[in-house]
Structures are given as C-alpha cells and as structure tokens.
Amino acid sequence: MGYSFPEEVLEHVLSFIDSDSDRNSVSLVCKSWHDIERWCRRRLFVGNCYAVSPAIAIRRFPELRSVSLKGKPHFADFNLVPHEWGGYAYPWIAAFAKAYPWLEELRLKRMVVSDEALELIAKKFKNFRVLVMYSCEGFSTDGLATIAANCRNLKELDLSESEVDDVSGNWLSQFPDSYTSLESLNITSLSSEIRFTALERLVGRCPNLKTLKLSHSVPLDLLPNLLQKAPQLVELGSGLHTKEVHPDLYSKLAGAFSGCKGLKRLCGLRDVVPSYLPTLYPICFGLTSLNLSDAPIQCPELIKLVSQCQNLQRLWVLDYIEDTGLIALAESCKDLRELRVFPSDPFGQEPNVSLTEQGLVSVSAGCPKLHSVLYFCRRMSNVALSTIARNRPNLTRFRLCIIERFRPDYITQEPLDVGFGAIVEHCKDLKRLSLSGLLTDRVFEYIGSHGKKLEMLSLAFAGDSDLGLHHVLSGCKSLRKLEIRDCPFGDKALLANAAKLETMRSLWMSACQVSYRACKLLGQKMPRLNVEVIAEQGHPDSSPDEYPVEKLYIYRTVSGPRSDMPSFVWTMDKNSALRSS
C-alpha cells in the first residue's frame, strides 16, 4: 500500500468535511481511511430509526457527539399511521447513555419519547446541549422538568409540534438560577399556564438567547418586558392576543419591537389582534422569515404587512392572503425563496377565500429565487402549471394540494398530467414533489422520464394501473422516499421493481391493491428489506393471500425485523408461508 499520511493529519483534514455523503465516500477509499473516518465522525443522521440498530451504529461510530433520528413515516402527520405504531426513542437513548457519555445533541423527529428517556438524557450526558423533538409525543412536562433541572449546559430546547402531556407549567422554574446558557427555546406546543416570572427571569439571565418561541398562553402584556430583556433576539414566536386594545400596551409593544434590531424571523401571531400589527412595521424590513400560518389575518392587513418585508425569504401564510395578496407579495418580496399557503377552511365544501392558481402563477413570475412551494388551493389548470414550470425552472420542492380529490383541470376538464409533466420536465433539480387532482398513468410516465433528481414523491388518489407505479420505480433514479395512498397500484409493479426498494429509504402504500401474497413474496426474497403490514383485522394468515393489504411499509434495514411491533403490525419474512392456491 505504500506509505500513508499519519493518522492525525488525515483526521485533521477530515475535520473539515461535514457532509454525510462526503464522509461516506471517504470511508470507501480503503480500510485505513474507513477506520480513521469512523473514529473521528461526530455527527450521525439516521433517516429511519429501524434501518439500523443502536448497537450497529455504536459499533461503527464510537465517538459521536450529535445524533439525529427519525421515526414514524411522514404520513403519520395525517393520521394514517395508527397510534402505538412504534418509533421509540428510549432504546436509542439507553444505548447512547452507555456508549456516548459525551453526547451533546439529540434531534428526534416523529418519535415516541418517554419521560424515562428524558430522564436518561438529563442524568447521563454531562455535556448535553441540544434537544430537538420535532413532532414527537409520549412525554410530559415532568420530563421537561428533569431536563431543566439537570442539563447545566443546555443551549437549545425545541419542542415544535410535539404533543406534550401538559401537566403543569412549573417545569420552567426548574432551571436553576445559575443557568444562563439558553440560546434557543421553542415551547409553542405547550398550552398550560407557565410561570411567567420564571420565564422572565430565565430570559433575563440568558444573554445569548437568540430564539424564543412561546406558547400562546403567554399574554401580550408580558411581551414588551420579555423583548426588552432580550433585544438580541433573532427569532421570535408569540401570540399578539389580548382582550382589549390598550394604547399603553400598544406603545410599549411598539417600542419593544423597535428595540429588537436583529429580529429576522417571526412566527406565531396566533389570535393576533389586527390593531397591534402596526407595532411590527419597524422590524418588517429586517425579516427574512415570516410564519403567519397560525394567524387569522385578513387580506388587507396581510398585504400591508408583507409589502414592507422586502427582504423576506420565507413566507408561510393562510389562504386569507388570496390572489391579490400574492400579487402584492410578488411585487414586494423579490428575495422570496419559500412559499407555503395553508387552507383556512380545509373541510369546507365551498371556497371561503378568493385564492386560486393565479396567486401561485404570480409569485412564480415575480420571485426569481422561489424554489420551494407548498400550496393548497381548490382549482388548478394545466396551463397554469406549465406557466409556473417555465417561470421557475429552479424549483426544488413542489407540493400542490388541490383540496377536492380527483379535480381535473378546471378549464379543460382534462387530467392534470400535462401540467405536472411540465413541472418535472422544466424543473430539472426537483427533489420533492406531491401531486393532487385528477391524474392518470400518464403523469407517472412523465415523472419517470424526467424526474431524475426526485428524492421524495407523495401520491394520493392518482393513477390508473400498475404501470404508473412501474414508471416511477423504474425511472426515478434518485428516489429515496415514496409514499402512496389510495392509488390503484397492485403487485406487479412492486414485484418487478423489487430491487429498487433496496435503493430507497422507504415505501409507504395504504389503501392500494397490493396483496398479502406479494408482501410475503417480497419478504421472503428480500432479506434486507423489512416488509411490514399493518392490519387491524388480524393475522395475515387469516386473510386469503390475494386480499389487499391495508397498509404497507417497506424499508431497507441492516438490523432485521423489528422487535417492538404492536399487535397490528406484522413483518413478512422468510417465515411467512405462502398459501398454496
């Protein structure tokens, strides 16, 4: 092999390499590089907590400081994954407690985290700094109290969108008076009354606090005090709600906001009283991110607000913004990169606002840097989609949800195949796509031939036959995550593309037409896949092999079948008998 660098030199070089894929490439060079790299890797990202076991991760990377884990499939966000499906953090944390006493960061997404797990974190990791639990559940404010009481070096505590058993708000007082290292706090999902004095004191004694996202139970009159204690804030999440409009409070608030010269990101504004909105005007120019998706602000006020945010890069807003608001946005915010428009009345039969495809077309025309879109609307046309595609070939994420299923092009009554086809054809760097509306197999043909960089695809109520799925599986070379619900895809495409499944992170199919037989076959033949069937009726053997599976979750794994499955989840493996027929 000749002579090689001293290890220390290589380690030093590698310390500049952060990206996981680069580090993975480094480890493939030769054995010694593999060994050196694994000893100096500090961050690990596990996209599917069942793809690898804690033991394997620990064996490979003995000196981690930061771990990210994801649990449930994405469709869990929409109640398609039954409760108690899995995604437990405890086994990981327990293993890390023994292997990584110097672990500093844990980022968990869609996992079940118990209070016991939180206690382990609090007590076993002496230098713990960052705890992010995004869309998690299973813990209570008691667990948070243990964290507060014990983690002396905690910098970040983020509970975004997690379901917390909110026993009491006293946990905040568990931060000792000597504790001053807080930099980021996100407690928007908590609803109980928190001790406001404790919050004030905490904010006051943490000079590095940059992010403060509060629950809406924090009353408005508290906000000026908080802002005055933390003028260095970069990110704020707060309600602006009060019973009455006090001129006093108004001027205090206006003064406090003006004092926050570095404020760049604003969210919350739940239950906002429109008369308080002008207090925000002084900071609008500095804002790069504005999340108004909780705020029932109507179009005129929205326009006033948004047209002052000329540096806005990210906007999340309700469809109250309407087409006129989006036109104003397109005129004022030329730096816009990401737009999300959420429905204010998702279950209403009739549109309650005047938001159509025109709004999105305007933004696509006016905002040259726009690359990420999530848009809920009630009508769309192929020509609009083609226009958007031509305007914005730099789109990387395009998620369109037409609220009524099977909605065709409202002008021609055709399926929207051609429109989405234009999107994949023109947007060559498209990484994420969600479809809706009336769609036939044709759209999948387009996606298969053009979506070469597509990594995540979400399908619902689309397609005609297995050919659609076959186009996707055989054509999308970069596909990592595929989630499908209520599409007429059956066994053939799945079985014919079985090898593809090992190149992907996961496949979710629910309310499709994949049979038990196909699942069993896949499970038998593909040992490196976990083919999991979710069936509430009973054991798979109690249904004929030709019956369709309710929900199917297939993912690649190096650690074999799960051992923590609930009673309604079965792994199809080599032991699954195929019934003779």
Partner 1 sequence: MEGCSRKDEVCPQLLDLISKDREWVLKSGEGRSHGSPEEKKLELRLGPPGEDWTIKDNTNNNNCRERDESLRYLRYLSSMASMTHNCSNNNNNSNIINNTTTSCGKRGFLETVERNTGEEGYQVKTQQQQQQTKASFLQFQSSPPVITKESSQPCCTKVVDLQNTEKKAFSPASANTAVPNSSQKSALILYRPLTSSPFVSHMYQKKQKICPTAVVGWPPIRSFRKNLASSSSSKPANESQDVVPNKIASEKPVEVGKKGLFVKINMDGVPIGRKVDLTAYDSYEKLSSAVDELFRGLLAAQRDSSAGGIQTKQEEEKTITGLLDGSGEYTLVYEDNEGDRVLVGDVPWHMFVNTVKRLRVLKSSELSALCLGSSKQEKAPLDSALK
Sites for partner 1 among residues 143-202 (CB under 8 A)? 161, 165-167, 189, 191-193
- Residue 169's CB: how many other CB atoms inside 10 A? 20
422 by DSSP, 3-state: which?
Answer: helix
Distance in angstroms (rounded) separating the CA atoms of residues 319 and 297 = 10
For partner 1, the closer CB: 162 or 358 = 162
In whole angstroms, what separates CA 182 from the centre of its chain? 24
Q: Which residues pair with 508 in a beta bridge?
A: 483, 553
Residue identified by tokens 């904010």 is: 203
* Dihedral angle computed from the Cα positions of residues 563, 455, 74 and 106, in that order, rounded to the nearest 10 degrees: 70
Q: Is the dihedral of CA 204, 206, 208, 209 positive or negative?
A: negative
What is the contact mask toward partner 1 in residues 232 to 271, using x (rule: CB under 8 A)?
---------xxx---------------------------x
Between β-strands 551-556 and 529-534, what pairing exists: parallel, antiparallel or unpaired?
antiparallel
CB of residue 352 vs partner 1: minimum separation in angstroms?
6
Instruction: Indicate which single residue of 17, 46, 58, 80 sits in contact with partner 1 (rule: CB under 8 A).
Output: 80
Closest among 13, 20, 16 to 43, alpha carbons compared: 20
Q: How far is the CB of 136 from partner 1 (least distance, A)?
A: 13
Binding mask 396-435 for partner 1 (x = CB under 8 A): -----x-xxxx-x---xxxx-x----------------x-
Q: Out of 63, 77, 248, 564, which residue is the one contacting partner 1 (CB under 8 A)?
A: 77
| Length of the chain (residues) | 581
Q: Distance (Å, rounded) from C-alpha 61 to C-alpha 105?
A: 15
Residues in region 24-43 near partner 1 by CB under 8 A? none
Residue 576, C-beta contacts closer than 8 angstroms, at least 6 positions apart: 519, 520, 523, 524, 540
Shortest separation between residue 28's beta carbon and partner 1, angstroms: 13
Name every residue whose Cβ is closer than 8 Å to that of residue 456 and which is 6 or more positions away in sequence. Answer: 431, 432, 433, 479, 480, 481, 482, 483
Nearest distance, CB of residue 415 and partner 1, angstroms: 8
Half-sphere exposure of 379 (CA within 13 A, CB side): 16
Q: How far is the CB of 176 from partner 1 (least distance, A)?
A: 26
How far apart are CB 339 and partner 1 at their closest, in Å? 16
- Looking at beta carbons only, is 15 or 567 nearer to partner 1? 567
Nearer to partner 1, 249 or 365 (CB): 249
Nearer to partner 1, 277 or 365 (CB): 277
- 344 forms part of the interface with partner 1 (CB under 8 A): yes
Q: Which is nearer to partner 1, 302 or 328 (CB)?
A: 302
**Among all chains, which residue has been given the structure tokens 């895809």?**
489
Interacting residue with partner 1 among 149, 198, 222, 273 (CB under 8 A): 273
Minimum distance of partner 1 from residue 315's CB (angstroms): 16
Site for partner 1 in 530-559 (CB under 8 A): 536-539, 541-548, 550
Query: What's the closest the beta carbon of residue 407 comes to partner 1, in angstroms?
Result: 9
Give the contact letters, 477-496, x = binds to partner 1 (CB under 8 A), - = no.
x-------xxxx-x-x--xx
The residue (of 102 and 406) whose beta carbon lies closer to partner 1 is 406
- Give 3-state DSSP helix, strand, coil % of the chain, rounded to 5: 35, 20, 45
Distances (CA, A) of 430 to 339, 363, 372, 426: 16, 18, 9, 9
CB of 376 to partner 1, least distance (A): 7
Q: For residues 427 and 394, give the distance between their C-alpha atoms in angstroms, rounded to a whole number.
A: 6
- Between strands 163-165 and 184-186, the pairing is unpaired
Q: Among 84, 116, 221, 335, which residue interacts with partner 1 (rule: CB under 8 A)?
A: 84
Pick the piece of the chain touching partner 1 (CB under 8 A) from 13-21, 34-42, 198-206, 506-514.
506-514
